[in-house]
């Protein structure tokens, strides 16, 4: 049952984590995947052709944003989409060591991309209804900062982690990238659990 207290929680507890989680899948799909495929010796032509299409969900997400607004709550969509994002990343981790890894990982990256674009819709909508006008203005810089921190994390830290595991498994770097994506899936799961309990229940949601 929604309590009065749960309708409005300190935004510092959920704005930073929500927008970090919003930015992380984007940088994984659009940047980290390109580096991974290059390291796994996919041709530049194939990388450019297929990964460029992964951006499409973010371009056309307004087409299904009304569905997110009408069905269920934005809180529901946030949690579910984070779960699907985690599942997509786990799928990438599991299929990297397979023979047809390029085809399979692209499919899971597509799933992650669509889920992430949908998550963007619900998170931005939740931001509008979960905060007062004053807090919306105050936290606009905070949310942008943590989104950019996610970008830096993906472009820097995640690549460093993958490189570390490559050094541990120089004979089979597919294992390194599989471990990296498994860690990412686990990280998203942590955020799912955290947001499940920490996100407020706005009256207008």
Give domain status of residue 3, yes or no: no
Q: Which two tokens stand for residue 156?
A: 């820097």
Q: pLDDT (tens digit, 9 = 90+) per residue, 121-142? A: 999 999 999 998 999 999 999 9
Give domain status of residue 203, yes or no: no
Long-range contacts of 56-63 (CB under 8 A, 24+ apart): 56/113, 57/110, 57/113, 57/114, 57/116, 57/117, 57/118, 58/26, 58/113, 58/116, 58/117, 58/120, 61/117, 61/118, 61/120, 61/121
Give domain status of residue 42, yes or no: yes
Give domain status of residue 205, yes or no: no
Give domain status of residue 135, yes or no: yes
Nearest to 196 by CA among 74, 115, 80, 79: 79
Give domain status of residue 175, yes or no: yes
Give domain status of residue 2, yes or no: no
Q: pLDDT (tens digit, 9 = 90+) per residue, 155-196? A: 899 999 999 999 998 888 999 999 999 999 999 999 999 999
Could you list the residue range(s) of the whole structural domain that residue 13 is in? 8-198
**CATH number of the domain that 27 lies in?**
1.20.1250.20
Give domain status of residue 193, yes or no: yes
Q: pLDDT (tens digit, 9 = 90+) per residue, 67-101? A: 998 999 999 999 999 999 999 999 999 999 999 99
Domain count, the chain: 1
């Amino acid at each position: 049952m929604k309590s009065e207290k749960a309708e409005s929680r300190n935004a510092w507890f959920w704005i930073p984590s929500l927008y970090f989680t919003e930015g992380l899948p984007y940088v994984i799909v659009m940047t980290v995947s390109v580096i991974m495929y290059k390291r796994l010796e996919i041709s530049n032509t194939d990388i450019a052709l297929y990964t460029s299409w992964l951006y499409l969900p973010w371009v056309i997400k307004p087409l299904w944003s009304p569905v997110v607004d009408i069905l269920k709550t934005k809180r529901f969509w946030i949690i579910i989409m984070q779960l699907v994002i985690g599942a997509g990343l786990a799928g990438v981790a599991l299929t990297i060591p397979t023979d047809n890894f390029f085809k399979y990982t692209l499919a899971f990256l597509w799933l992650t991309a669509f889920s992430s674009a949908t998550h963007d819709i619900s998170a931005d909508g939740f931001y509008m209804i979960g905060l007062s006008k004053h807090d919306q203005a105050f936290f606009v810089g905070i949310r942008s900062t943590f989104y950019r921190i996610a970008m830096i994390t993906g472009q820097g830290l995640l690549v460093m982690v993958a490189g570390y595991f490559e050094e541990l498994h120089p004979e089979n770097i597919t294992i390194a990238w599989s471990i990296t994506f498994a860690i990412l899936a686990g990280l998203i799961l942590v955020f799912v659990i955290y947001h499940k309990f920490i996100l407020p229940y706005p009256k207008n949601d």
